[in-house]
Amino acid sequence: MTVKENLRPGGRSARVQASVHKAVRELLAEMSRTEVTIPLIAGKAGVTPSTIYRRWGDLQQLLADVAVDRLRPDMQPIDAGSGKADLEAWAEQYAEEMSSGPGREMIRDVLAAQAGANACKCAEFTRQQIGLIAERAKARGEAFPDVERVMDQVVAPIMYRILFGDVPDAARVRDLVARVMDAAL
Amino acid sequence: MTVKENLRPGGRSARVQASVHKAVRELLAEMSRTEVTIPLIAGKAGVTPSTIYRRWGDLQQLLADVAVDRLRPDMQPIDAGSGKADLEAWAEQYAEEMSSGPGREMIRDVLAAQAGANACKCAEFTRQQIGLIAERAKARGEAFPDVERVMDQVVAPIMYRILFGDVPDAARVRDLVARVMDAAL
């Protein structure tokens, strides 16, 4: 789905996308995902099914596209006073959100789509958040680990355990953060 | 899917399962996954569709069940002479297999099923392999990290990067192994 990147805000294409995304979100709130179909979405969005097929290819791609949009961070990481405290607060919230029912469904939708572009975008959002925490730490003159190391040692274990059925508790998350921070000193 | 755990080998139930799994594997070799349907599988396996629905619930669960079976390790980790060499050889093979086309499809099938039991089973297979490497290292009198730490610092980053579109190369895998081994010393 590279479509949405080049939309002129307010243009026809952007309006169609907004309306279709909204229809999907509303239907997902009303019924189980297995009941959602492209004709239903089209009806609710006021577009023809063929508009949706032309633009998204299939239902799975559309669901992935909507899921990525919802996974886009809507705030800067909290400033908790130090790099370690920032990373801890961020990681605990990340683990909590991603392991929630809606969080898991969004991850599943993103990963289920055949093309990997949406999954990459998700990891990119995460990388940017860690990058912001790292910049803030450096501006304070603190040591902070490399962003890729935080991806490997904090983000990846949280996501792996959520996906493979062993949701990490706050103590485990803090332990992951402590280990990567200690290594950076 | 707890069904298959309690099968009497050679019993009717085990024969049905073996035949259905075989039909799925053959169909997946012949056609794309989106073309595989329960009636097709039933026809090939010589059972009625309702047998499949009763036993697996839906196509996604059946695909996940077959995928887990294929993800079950079919060999002991290679003995390369030391814990570090064993873990390196194992991790490189794991990264290679899981990032291959069939590997990704199997992971996607396992994760797509609503119930998480199959995903847990996959992580359990991996944990057992690492456990074998750890025992061998200890029998040789070597220091070896805790299995959960290897899951967090080697397995999780490999899987995260494969899923989120940034397949780790051999150098990155060796780097992950070196880091966790150094910390264990």
- Residue A34 has a pLDDT of 81
- Residue A3 has a pLDDT of 44
- Residue B80 has a pLDDT of 94
- Residue A7 has a pLDDT of 55
- Residue B84 has a pLDDT of 96
- Residue B112 has a pLDDT of 79
Tokens of A151: 């991806």
Tokens of B145: 């990290």
**Residue numbers in chain B where pLDDT is lower than 50:** 1-4
Q: Does B167 touch chain A (CB under 8 A)?
A: no
B153 CB neighbours in chain A (<8 A) are 152-153, 157
Cα A159 to Cα B164: distance, rounded to the nearest angstrom = 11
Taking CB atoms and an 8 Å limit, are A151 and B157 in contact across chains? yes
Taking CB atoms and an 8 Å limit, are B120 and A176 in contact across chains? no
Residues in chain A: 185
- Residue A4 has a pLDDT of 47
Tokens 């705030």 correspond to what residue? A75
SS3 letters across A11-73: CHHHHHHHHHHHHHHHHHHHCCHHHCCHHHHHHHHCCCHHHHHHHHCCHHHHHHHHHHHHHCC
Cα B30 to Cα B24: distance, rounded to the nearest angstrom = 10
Tokens of B53: 């629905």
- Residue B3 has a pLDDT of 44
* Of A112, A164, A183, Cβ closest to residue B122: A164
- Residue B114 has a pLDDT of 62
The residue among A128, A146, A152, A180 with the most chain B CBs within 10 A of its CB, best to mutate, is A152
**Residue numbers in chain A where pLDDT is lower than 50:** 1-4
Q: What is the pLDDT of residues A78-111, one digit of tens each?
A: 999 999 999 999 999 999 999 988 888 888 888 8
Q: What is the mean pLDDT of chain B?
A: 88
Planar angle of CA B137, B138, B140, nearest 5 degrees: 65
Domains of chain A with CATH codes: 3-57 (1.10.10.60), 74-184 (1.10.357.10)
* Of A151, A165, A176, Cβ closest to residue B119: A165
Q: Does B155 touch chain A (CB under 8 A)?
A: yes
Tokens of B50: 């309702």
- Residue A2 has a pLDDT of 41
- Cα–chain center distance at A144: 24
* Of B108, B112, B155, Cβ closest to residue A160: B155
3-class secondary structure, B10: coil
Residue B47 CB burial class (10 angstroms; 0-12, 13-18, ≥19):
middle
A120 CB neighbours in chain B (<8 A) are 164-166
Complex ipTM, two decimals? 0.82
Q: Do the beta carbons of residue B36 and residue B27 sit within 8 Å?
A: yes
Give the Å distances, CA to CA, from A178 to A92, A167, A171, B95: 13, 18, 10, 27
